[in-house]
Amino acid sequence: MTADDAGATYGAAGEGSRGLRERLSGQAEDAIGRLADDLLENPLINSALQTALGARDKVAQAQESAMEALNIPSASNIDKIARRLRSISQRLDEMEDGVEKLDRRIAAASSGGASDLGERLERIETRLDDIGRDVATLRRELVKGDVIPAAQTRAVVPEG
């Protein structure tokens, strides 16, 4: 017997065992499926499952009530708090960004604009002083008896 003959014999046996394995697993799956269907159709098993699921819900409710009575937060309460905290954190970040932008604007306005604003205010004050002096001069020059008619639309200004 050569090495090729031995490999062929072993290969044929391997294929046969693979086929047998597949047939057995297929039959086992079918049998388990039929068993599960039979169990679910059985009214006794079905009512036992319903009772077990109902009991689980009642236990969960009782646990939640007990935790609430002891003032211990449940997992859903903690999840709600975590979501709320993330929302507040996001809002706070947005507010911080807004404050930073405002701070930058104020800094820009105060660094370059303050000296310009001061100079502008000085010019306005000087101009107001000039206007005040002009009005005082006009009052002194105006004779108490001189009345300017209301119909006069133009004042005659002497050149000089």
Whole-prediction pTM: 0.36
- Residue 97: inside a domain, yes or no? yes
What domain range includes position 127? 73-138
- Residue 132: inside a domain, yes or no? yes
Question: Can you give the C-alpha Rg of the chain in angstroms?
Answer: 49
- Residue 52: inside a domain, yes or no? no
H helix or E strand, kind and range, residue 15: helix 3-41
Is residue 63 pLDDT above 90, yes or no? Answer: no
Average pLDDT over residues 35-45: 85
Average pLDDT over residues 105-124: 77
Q: What pLDDT is stored for residue 147 in this prediction?
A: 61
Q: Which amino acid is it at 1?
A: M
Output the CA torsion sign for 31, 33, 38, 44.
positive
Q: What is the number of structural domains in the chain? A: 1
Q: What tokens does 101 get?
A: 């932008």
Cβ atoms 40, 46 nearer than 8 A: yes
Is residue 132 pLDDT above 80, yes or no? Answer: yes
Burial class of residue 27 in the structure, from the number of CB atoms within 10 Å of its CB (0-12 exposed, 13-18 middle, 19+ buried) = exposed
Q: Which amino acid is it at 84?
A: R
Is residue 15 pLDDT above 70, yes or no? Answer: no
- Residue 93: inside a domain, yes or no? yes
C-alpha distance from residue 88 to each of 3, 68, 73, 82 (Å): 76, 25, 20, 10
Q: What tokens does 82 get?
A: 């975590």
Give the integer Cα–Cα distance in Å for 7 and 4.
5
Greater model confidence, 5 or 118 = 118
Give the integer Cα–Cα distance in Å for 146 and 156.
14
C-alpha distance from residue 61 to each of 48, 76, 111, 159 (Å): 20, 13, 64, 102
Q: What tokens does 103 get?
A: 């701070």
- Residue 118: inside a domain, yes or no? yes
Q: Residue 151's pLDDT band (boundaries 50, 70, 90)?
A: low
- Residue 105: inside a domain, yes or no? yes
- Residue 15: inside a domain, yes or no? no
- Residue 42: inside a domain, yes or no? no
Q: What pLDDT is stored for residue 116 in this prediction?
A: 72
